[in-house]
Structure 1
Amino acid sequence: MYDWPVLQPANDRFWRTLVERLRDAGIDAPGELNRHDNHAALRGRDDLLLAQTCGLPFNTRLKDRVRYVATPVHAMEGCREARYSSAIVTRRGFDPDRRTPEALRGLRLAVNGTDSWSGYEVVKRWFAAGGTPMPAPHLVSGGHLRSMQAVAEGQADVAAIDAIALGLARNHLPELAGHLQVIGWTESRPAPPFVTAGPADDETVAALRTALHDALATEPGIREALGLRSVAVLAADAYAAMIPAESRTAIS
């Protein structure tokens, strides 16, 4: 999910470290990350070894197609333990008094995708908590990085950026992050989980958990570059509340 060009060297190092441990455990892990195939399709394949996905599709369209492995624990503002929030951001210098949902009505909203928890669903809830319907998205950017760029470049006025993406931008793209200001934070939920293929057996899941834990415990450079402290294994129902608001209303 966080494989921007500037982060790819660190992600490649992380993957190579995981591969060593997985192969030692008898798992024939591929030597390179797959950056060529459609990521949404990859997450539903029976030969998927490891991927990361947003909590909303994990709990909806991927629910019976992947197995939960672990949840990352990040060391960034807006992250606590294995949970994260989204920052409501505007361009730096934006009217500091316009920080409430009501005050943001009529502005151009950028969302990363309508199947995203952190960039779309949580925004609806943030506006609803303020007694205001979310404005129709002005721009569907395709990713948090592009949403940040849209706000910074004046193509949109406001966006919700997950704390992980914002922290990575602050660490690796400070010029971009410097054009943004945080005017609020949303509720927190479990961070985007690592998953494997639905048919994966318990031994594979256990090996993946061990590899993730050991790689992060022994590679401080990877932890620093990716803002990752460790991984946690959460309860089976940890992501149960991460469904579209209309679905929750329908089943309540």
Structure 2
Amino acid sequence: MSRLVASLGMYDHPAQQSANDRIWSEIVRILRKRGVDRMPDVLDRARHVHDLWRDPNLLFGQACGYPLIADDSLALQVIALPIYDMPGFTSSDATHASVLVARANDGRRSLVDYRDTRAAINDPQSNTGMNLFRATLAPIAETSAFFARVVQTGSHRGSIAAIAAGSADIAAIDTVTYATLVRHEPDLTAPLKIVARSPASPTLPFVTSAATGVETIAALRLALQEVMTDPRLAEARASLGLAGIITANFDALAPIHALQQTAIRFGYPNLR
């Protein structure tokens, strides 16, 4: 049988990789004690997370919630939602948001001032980069097109870089990512200002393949609970901003779908 795979690629800034490796090593140790076999000793960083989400051998990963509700071809099960505590972006539950950022010196003061400017998104199926962006704009859009142009950058960091370089004017950035970049790449975020914050949304769920059995899912949930409370992992958790988890299933993503539907009712079905 093929070996299983694992990934924590959604929040894996180079400065955080050793923390993710430490967390995963402890999960492996716990799962082996519980009889889970074919365990991957290391996280897969060779493949894009989108490819890993489609691997039937995915034992453990983290996914964006919007593709899970928008793409029926993704065969994943939700294990849990993480709780994050990042400087300036603390939540006591498993929710986060996006900050809408722009150049600090652009002269615009409110979100409505960005009508007919250039927006940057990381991916059309990103919850924080597109869905929450759309949900924030929908009440003020008034027409089906708010921006002069929308450019796709491939990552939240790429969207920030595009704004700093002057090739885009505004973007929605996941608060966990933004706090990480403020901490580890302050020169990148220094030219920016926060224009608005999006509605809250479930955090990026921890997931496993649809092929994973119920006993293994139960073991994964127990392992996550243990690593979230183990004092030996306090430094690793702090590096990642992890404060805990909430056991969850697919139904926990319903607020993401609700935000999509609200934007549609406002007459703003697509971010443009």
TM-score by length of 2: 0.83
Counterpart among 34, 45, 68 of residue 35 in structure 1: 45
Counterpart among 222, 225, 238 of residue 236 in structure 2: 222
1:72: Cα distance to partner? 0.6
2:183 maps to what in 1?
Answer: 171
1:50 maps to what in 2?
Answer: 60
1:236: Cα distance to partner? 4.7
2:6 maps to what in 1?
Answer: none
Contact kept in structure 2, 1:78 and 1:163, CA below 8 Å: yes
1:96: Cα distance to partner? 5.0
1:5: Cα distance to partner? 2.4
1:128 maps to what in 2?
Answer: 138
Unaligned segments of structure 1, at least 5 residues:
none
Cα pair distance change 1:24/1:136, threshold 3 Å: farther
- Cα distance in 2 for partners of 1:158, 1:11 equals 30
| Map 1:183-198 → 2, pairs under 5 A | 183-198=195-210
Question: Which AA in structure 2 matches 1:158?
Answer: I
Cα pair distance change 1:87/1:206, threshold 3 Å: same
Helix, strand or coil for the counterpart of 1:17? helix
Helix, strand or coil for the counterpart of 2:179? helix
Cα pair distance change 1:210/1:62, threshold 3 Å: farther
1:10 maps to what in 2?
Answer: 19
Question: Which AA in structure 2 matches 1:228?
Answer: L
Contact kept in structure 1, 2:80 and 2:205, CA below 8 Å: yes
Stretch moving more, 105-114 or 174-183: 174-183
1:8: Cα distance to partner? 1.8
- Cα distance in 2 for partners of 1:185, 1:171 equals 19
Question: Which AA in structure 1 matches 2:215?
Answer: E
Q: 4+ runs of 1 displaced by more than 3 Å?
A: 131-134, 243-249
Contact kept in structure 2, 1:66 and 1:196, CA below 8 Å: yes
Question: Which AA in structure 2 matches 1:53?
Answer: A
1:17: Cα distance to partner? 1.9
2:251 is aligned with 1:237? yes
2:268 maps to what in 1?
Answer: none
Write 1 or 2 for the structure with the bigger share of helix: 2
1:65: Cα distance to partner? 0.6
1:62: Cα distance to partner? 5.4
1:203 maps to what in 2?
Answer: 215
Unaligned segments of structure 2, at least 5 residues:
1-9, 266-272
2:69 is aligned with 1:65? no
Question: Which AA in structure 2 matches 1:161?
Answer: I
Deviations 1:202-236 (A, max 9, x none): 11111111111211211111111001101112365
